[in-house]
Each structure stands twice: as C-alpha cells, then as structure tokens.
Amino acid sequence: MPQLSRRQVVVLGGVGIAAITTGVAGLVGQQRAGTGASRTKWKEPPRMASVDGRLDVELTAGQHQAQLAGRDVSVLAYNGLLPGPTLVLQPGDHVRLRLDNQLPEPTNLHVHGLHVSPQDNSDNVLISIEPTEAFDYEYQLPPDHPPGVYWYHPHHHGTVADQLFGGLYGAIIVEDPQPIPVTRERIVVISDITMTGEDDIARVTPMEQMRGREGNIVLVNGQVHPTLHAQPQDRERWRIINACTSRYVKLALDEHTWELLGKDSGRYPKPRVMADVLLPPGQRADVLVTAQAGTAILRAVTVDRGRLSPTMGGPNASSPGLPPRDVPLATFAVSGTAAHPMPPVPRQTPLRDLRAEPITAKRELVFGMQMGGMRRSAPSEHPQPQNRHPMMAFTINGQVFDPQRIDTTVSVGSIEEWVLTNITPMDHPVHVHVWPMQLIHTPDRSIQEPEWQDVVNIPPQSSITVRVAFDTFVGQTVYHCHILDHEDLGMMGLLEVR
C-alpha cells in the first residue's frame, strides 16, 4: 500500500474532482446561458480498434491534472484521458485488457452491456484490484454479439459513484455487421462533474447521495460546450452515452429530429424519428442526425426524476440556488454547400421476440427506500440542518446488497419474466449485467416491435415488465439501480446463473 497524502484520499472519498480556484457560479452561469460563442473545438477520445479478431488494451486508472473549461482540475482518468480511449470491436472478438490500478484505493472494471461471461477474469465485478496492482481481463464476444454502443467504468461496490464521477469511463463500440452509410461518425460521451469554488474538494453530502449527485458542469467528451462542424445534408451518426452518475439527459437539437437506430444494444428494424431522446444514467443511444443549415444547440432538457419525499426538495436541488433549466451541451454549426443526400439505411434483421417463447419463471424485484441506519430524530427534537434527514437505505425486495447472499438463482437457458416495481417517489434506472432485457409492458405506451435494453427506467410508483433470456453464460453477477449513488447505498442484488 503506497503512502497516501490526505489530499489523495479526500479526492477519492469525496466527489473526485479537485476544486478550481475561480468562481464556479460564473462557469455554470455561462454554460446555462449557452449564448457566448463556443470556441472549444470538438474532441473525441482516441480509438483502439481490434485487428483480425483481437484487441490488446492497457488501461491505467489514476489521478490526472486535466484542463476543464480552461482551468486545471484534478480528476481521475484512464490513461490520463477523459473519457478513456474508445474500444472498437466486432462480434466474435477476443479482447485482452490489463487494468493497472494507480488509484490510492481498490477499483475494478465493468464492460457495461457486453454479452460476455461474468466469471473468472471476464466481466467479473466481484473482484477487487488493490492499489498498485494490475489485473488481466479477457473478454470473448460471441460471434452473434449485437451491435451497439457500450461502455466501461469501475464497479467496486461502495465507491462506484465516486470513481465514475471523478472521470473514470470510456466508450465501447460493437460494429454493425452491415455498415450504415453516413458522412461521419462521432462518439458523444456525456458526463457531469462538480467543480467547487474553494481550493479544496467538495464531498458528496448524504442528501446528494440519497438523491443521486448531479455535477454542476455537464461535459461532452470531457469538454465544456464544444462546437461541431458539418455541411447541410451531411448524415452524421452519433453514438451517445449517458455516463453521468445520476443525471438524466434528455437530448434535443434545435431544428433537427433524431433518427434512433436503437438503444443500448441491437437495432430497430428501421430508424425511429424522435423529437428528443431521453437517456437515464447508463443508457446509450445510436442516432442519425441529418444536418440542417444554420447553428443549432444540442441541449439537455430538464428532466423531473421525482424526489426523495414530498418535503425533500426537487430533482435539481443538488445545484442549490440555480433554477432547473436546460443545459446547452454543444453547438452544431452547419454551413457550406449541401452534400448529396445519403442512401437509405439498410433494413435491419428483426430482433428476437421473447413474447413468442415460453417462459420458465416469473419474479418481481421491488425497488424501495427505507429510513434507517442512523438515529431517528424524535418529533420534539429540534432538527439540525445537517442531520435533519435520517440516512436512508436503498433496497431491492427490502434488502440492501450483501455480496455473501445470492438473491436470484436462474438456470442457464431459461427465459424469465421479471416485473420491476418502483415503490418510491423517484425514478430508478434498473440495469442487469450480461443479459439484456426485452421490454414487455410499460405503463405509458404499448410495445410493438421488440425493444431490447440493458437499462430500463422505472418511474415512481409503477411497474415495468421485461423478459430475459439467460443463455450462453453461467456465473455470478449483479443487477442494480444505475443512479450509482443508489447502487453504492445498497440498491443492488446478486444474480447467479447456473
């Protein structure tokens, strides 16, 4: 164990971002106003693509001085990059990935959404890599792995939110078997961080943790409000990841509609035309944007994701003093001569539909919150501002996560129907590792063609029914709320497939 300075420890124990010295209110104000011409150039993380079915990658997780919005900020990063490198894969690939832990605390790695083994040195989130140690992961993608946008991030229970919020995340692309004709492709990693005004680190407060912390700056590929350039009629493909710890991102682009190819993994038979795209934390969208002449702003439209209780503040109370408003993320500057219109998107092979297949078991997972863990204030007691709210437990079926307790045992090859029920007054984005979920019933719309996702948002006081085909792999892994503060507070269960 290396000698740790207090500062290092605090960086990791707190929100993961060192303070910057200038007034942050000004910065947030600027971002929210979204007017001032953005001179920040569009930037993407470097790509590392597999060759002949193989990719060898080394990632070092460590502390890093980054330039954010023109200021020096101490962040966490993979290979000194924020986001980390984009891994570009093909179905059937074999990936060898060495993770070197140069953080002063344990970490590990999860390849979110990939359909790979959860055991041994594959996508095993139950291991812990100690400081200064390295671990060699190996992932074998099945030859029919669905195309899509995936991502990687730490998954060491208890510090997942801190480490992700600090800057540890990167994109994974699994390419389409049939290429989609576009003028250019971009990766769009959306994340948020908190820069404080003092020369110290802001720790997450118990209140922010219960609500799910939201950063006071929203970054696109690690940049504050970059500008992208295109020509009219260019067809761009944006692979978008919501890598925020807790923030819901509803994207809108002035004057433009989105053609949604799919969410998480797999493709719709043909693109869906949408006015906006809502991504709860952890979710991804693969979209086409056809450029219209002019200057459009990409915005994150404010989303109401409920509250802890009727008296405990609204969704945006993590930025106290600022009214909830749309956040401009980037400028899409379209000028020049119009390009030739692109050929149509090839029709995609229909996805598997579990509605036509027999199910082997039904279960319900109930997502709840319970008071407890801390002394309860007697009603007569005068509440102090810091401890007005007793600590809350975030539970699934009434229990907080315990790595020693298997919550759900499934036989390999079975198809199960799960009812995901949220009995709390706030949204929870539910995520299952390794095996994606097919949406069966949602309260707000009827499902037509098959839709597969690995993150499914459950609105307050409602249920969503999904089906999962537990095929190909055995082993232990987890399901959890992807508001990663809730996951760290216990809203996670252990799943064993055998």
Q: How is 413-478 classified by DSSP, letter by letter?
A: T-EEEEEEEE-SSB-EEEEESSS-EEEEE-SSS---S--EESEEEE-TTEEEEEEEE--S--EEEE
* φ/ψ bin of 282: left (φ > 0), alpha (ψ from -120 to 50), beta (otherwise): left
Q: Does 480 bind ligand C2O (CB under 6 A)?
A: yes
The distance of closest approach from Cβ of residue 363 to ligand C2O in the complex, given in angstroms and rounded to an integer, is: 19
What part of residues 431-450 is at the interface with ligand C2O (CB under 6 A)? 431, 433
What part of residues 147-176 is at the interface with ligand C2O (CB under 6 A)? 153, 155
Q: Does 161 bind Cu ion (CB under 5 A)?
A: no
Q: Does 428 bind Cu ion (CB under 5 A)?
A: yes
Residue 480: name its binding partner from Cu ion, ligand C2O, none (Cβ under 5 to 8 Å by kind).
ligand C2O
Cα(193)–Cα(259) distance, integer angstroms: 29
Q: Does 114 bind Cu ion (CB under 5 A)?
A: no
Give, in order, the Cα–Cα distances in Å from 402 to each of 212, 342, 368: 21, 52, 16
DSSP state of 120: T
Q: Does 112 bind Cu ion (CB under 5 A)?
A: yes
The distance of closest approach from Cβ of residue 174 to Cu ion in the complex, given in angstroms and rounded to an integer, is: 15
In three-state secondary structure terms, 107 is strand
What part of residues 350-379 is at the interface with ligand C2O (CB under 6 A)? none
**Residue among 486, 494, 495, 497 that touches Cu ion (CB under 5 A):** 486
For the chain, the C-alpha Rg in angstroms (whole number) is 22
Residue 467: name its binding partner from Cu ion, ligand C2O, none (Cβ under 5 to 8 Å by kind).
none
The distance of closest approach from Cβ of residue 263 to ligand C2O in the complex, given in angstroms and rounded to an integer, is: 14
Cα(420)–Cα(307) distance, integer angstroms: 19
Residue 483: name its binding partner from ligand C2O, Cu ion, none (Cβ under 5 to 8 Å by kind).
Cu ion
Q: Does 481 bind Cu ion (CB under 5 A)?
A: yes
Residue 155: name its binding partner from ligand C2O, Cu ion, none (Cβ under 5 to 8 Å by kind).
ligand C2O
Closest-by-Cβ residue to ligand C2O is 112
Determine how many CB atoms are found less than 10 A away from the CB of residue 376.
11
Cα(424)–Cα(419) distance, integer angstroms: 15
Stretch that binds Cu ion, among 159-167, 270-278, 315-323, 422-430 (CB under 5 A): 422-430
Q: Does 389 bind ligand C2O (CB under 6 A)?
A: no
Asked whether 111 and 429 are in contact (CB, 8 A), the reply is no
The distance of closest approach from Cβ of residue 254 to ligand C2O in the complex, given in angstroms and rounded to an integer, is: 30
Q: Closer to Cu ion by CB, 182 or 391: give it.
A: 391
H or E, element range at 161: helix 160-166
The distance of closest approach from Cβ of residue 295 to Cu ion in the complex, given in angstroms and rounded to an integer, is: 37
**Residue among 282, 306, 475, 493 that touches ligand C2O (CB under 6 A):** 282
Q: Does 235 bind ligand C2O (CB under 6 A)?
A: no
What part of residues 93-152 is at the interface with ligand C2O (CB under 6 A)? 110, 112
Stretch that binds ligand C2O, among 40-48, 83-91, 373-381, 475-483 (CB under 6 A): 475-483
Cα(461)–Cα(367) distance, integer angstroms: 10
Asked whether 410 and 432 are in contact (CB, 8 A), the reply is no
Q: How is 305-366 classified by DSSP, letter by letter?
A: -B-SSTTS--TTTTSTTS----EEEEEEEE-SSPPPPPPPPPPPPPPP-GGGS--SEEEEEE
Q: Closer to Cu ion by CB, 135 or 435: give it.
A: 435
248 CB-contact burial (10 Å; exposed 0-12 / middle 13-18 / buried 19+): buried
Identity of the amino acid at 408: T
Q: Closer to ligand C2O by CB, 110 or 213: give it.
A: 110
Residue 481: name its binding partner from ligand C2O, Cu ion, none (Cβ under 5 to 8 Å by kind).
Cu ion
Cα(396)–Cα(421) distance, integer angstroms: 9
What part of residues 328-367 is at the interface with Cu ion (CB under 5 A)? none
Nearest-CA neighbor of 133 among 104, 165, 170, 168?
104
Q: Closer to Cu ion by CB, 64 or 433: give it.
A: 433
**Residue among 160, 279, 483, 494 that touches Cu ion (CB under 5 A):** 483
DSSP state of 158: T
Binding residues (CB under 5 A) for Cu ion: these are: 112, 428, 433, 481, 483, 486
Binding residues (CB under 6 A) for ligand C2O: these are: 110, 112, 153, 155, 282, 431, 433, 478, 480, 482
